[in-house]
Structure 1
Amino acid sequence: MSRLDLNLFVILEAIYSEGSITRAAARLNLTQPAISHALRRLRLTFDDPLFIRQGNTMVPTALTQSVIAPIRQSVRTLSGSVQAARSFDPGATQRTFTIGCRDVLEAHLLQPLMRRIASEAPGVSISSVRVDRSDLETSLAKGELDLAVEMLARVSDRVHRTAIIHDSLVVVGRKDHPVLADEPDLPAYLGQEHILVSSRRRGMSLEDVELARIGHQRRIALRCQQYFAASMLVAETDLLLTMPERYARIVNRGLPTRIVPFPVAVPPVAVYLYWHENADPDPANRWLRNLISEIAAGPEAGFD
């Protein structure tokens, strides 16, 4: 089967339906020699003549009669699938999309995304999963992920990406933290103990990379995995937390904390939407890409 041209089944079905090589060629917009060549290949594959000529009619053999029903159904199913893909209708589709997304970004995107899907594509389901940046390209290439929303990752040219979010770094501390009474300068910031949030066991965060670039290092008292847990902790201690501004405003709602600018001028933190080149022409994937990009650019995700 791996060496069999599936187009041959289309030709077999056409000869069966038309009862003639000439009419089959006209229906498929092929030449008669091309149809005859395909029939020879089919006969070798099945080790059967498949059709016997009686006058001007190609009469199917018993073997052809026994296989034509499943072949005809398969051809129609494939044709219908191709047609459906070309004319994607969000309102009629039944499909689950898998998106690689961190919890930081879930808080921004999932609520407005599911609201839009409920109104525009009620048959669509979303599975948001965590993925390591080192596995990002492999997961996209295998089709394990339809899309990924992630920070800058090292990928090949086969993975497409576009920036959808730009955010700033801020410092979070308890509301009455003496250092945060005024916006702290760099020496005041470095004089405190800090929480670093990362899913990795080791390595520097973006803010530590920027500090090292200008020759400074801060004291990390705690390394943990979740910004929400870190925000709850800084609300009750003298520890400081550095994180993206828009997510900080979400997770600190209702907490007795204060948010101030990061004391070093750094470029905005960019978040990208990734997809594999194999999915680039897929209209369903394109629809979801456009929807996520539209949400990220608008007020409903809190990015304005």
Structure 2
Amino acid sequence: MHISRTDLNLFVVFEAIYSQGGVTRAAETLNLTQPTISHALGRLRDRMDDPLFVRHGQKLVPTSAAQKMIGPVRQALQLFERTLGELDGFDPSSADMTFSIGMRPLMEHTFFLPLVTLARETAPKITVTSNRYDRHNLETDLSAGRMNAAIDVFLPLPDSIRRKHLTSSRSVIVARKDHPIAREGLDLEAYLSLEHILVTSRPGGHGPEDVALSREGKSRRVAVRCQQINTAMRLVDRTDLVLTMSEAIAERANIWFKHQIIATPFAAPKIDTYLYWHANSDADQANQWFRGVVEGAVQLPPPDDLMYLP
């Protein structure tokens, strides 16, 4: 098979069908007719000597050959787009493209609003999407172009994944405004006597503050585990449960609640946040602009009308 005898547009159609799960949505994405998409898929099937997709209910499911192809195809398409973009230059004021940021729920709740707001100030035509992802697949997702960048805590990743430190935040305690600890104060003994909320997407395990406490031979009672910071903040509002978390995230999440934010009575760890992207996007002007917007959004100060106890 020689590339000179292959229409490269067929791979654009292939990626759209793979991503959208069907011919109809792929046609909508590419602004083409369904017969055009079906014809292109038929040509690629003949060229690859494989059905590539098989019908399963309402979706087209990729064959094993298609699954092997998708990563290299996405990388190649990303390279073409980046090359053309560099030749044309990147102008955010007229750019009509999609930027995808990998965020776990806690990060989305904290940083997505300022990110979108800041991005649209200079690039009103772009689309910004937040993607939840498996940390084990982060390298692959960034390499294949499924995400332009990601925000997370420090992760052990290969050199092909670039990282930049964004924030370093101490741990604090969040309690409702009229919680008894406002009158009684909070030392370590009082902290350990409380019932706690842990925000995590993991079904088990401990938070970084639990690890810190264990070094002192101490432990706390986690009465509730939940996945969303907003859920945790509502629980704090309705109960005597308290929440220990990053100060940077707590300040932003507290905008709608006005809870107390209190320093921890023990040596709780600092929480570091990093921006991740793939090495092949280093020189891409659009990706450089987007990374700059992410950095700016993370550094934006929270509103100054928050209740805070030192």
The answer to whether structure 1 residue 188 and structure 2 residue 190 are counterparts is yes
1:176/1:301 CA distance change after superposition, 3 Å: closer
TM-score (norm 2): 0.67
1:2/1:289 CA distance change after superposition, 3 Å: farther
What is the aligned-residue RMSD (CA, Å)? 2.7
Which sections of structure 1, spanning at least 5 residues, go unmatched?
7-77
The match for 1:177 among 157, 176, 179 is 179
- Three-state SS of the structure 2 residue aligned to 1:154 is coil
Instruction: Give the conservation status (yes or no) of the 8 Å contact 1:180–1:260.
Output: no
Instruction: Give the conservation status (yes or no) of the 8 Å contact 1:109–1:301.
Output: no
Instruction: Give the conservation status (yes or no) of the 8 Å contact 1:196–1:224.
Output: yes
Match for residue 203 of structure 1? 205
Match for residue 143 of structure 2? 141
The within-5 A match list for 1:12-161 is: 82-86=83-87, 87-161=89-163
Counterpart amino acid of residue 213 in structure 1: R
**Separation of aligned partners in 2, 1:80 and 1:184:** 56
The answer to whether structure 1 residue 281 and structure 2 residue 283 are counterparts is yes
**Separation of aligned partners in 1, 2:81 and 2:123:** 20
Which sections of structure 2, spanning at least 5 residues, go unmatched?
7-78, 305-310
- Residue deviations 1:191-231, cap 9 Å, x none? 11111110111111111121122222111111111121112
Match for residue 235 of structure 2? 233
Counterpart amino acid of residue 257 in structure 1: H
Identity %: 39
Instruction: Give the conservation status (yes or no) of the 8 Å contact 1:140–1:275.
Output: yes
TM-score (norm 1): 0.68
Counterpart amino acid of residue 223 in structure 2: A
Q: What count of residue pairs does the alignment treat as equivalent?
A: 231
Structure of greater Rg: 1
- Residue deviations 1:29-62, cap 9 Å, x none? xxxxxxxxxxxxxxxxxxxxxxxxxxxxxxxxxx
Instruction: Give the conservation status (yes or no) of the 8 Å contact 2:102–2:147.
Output: yes
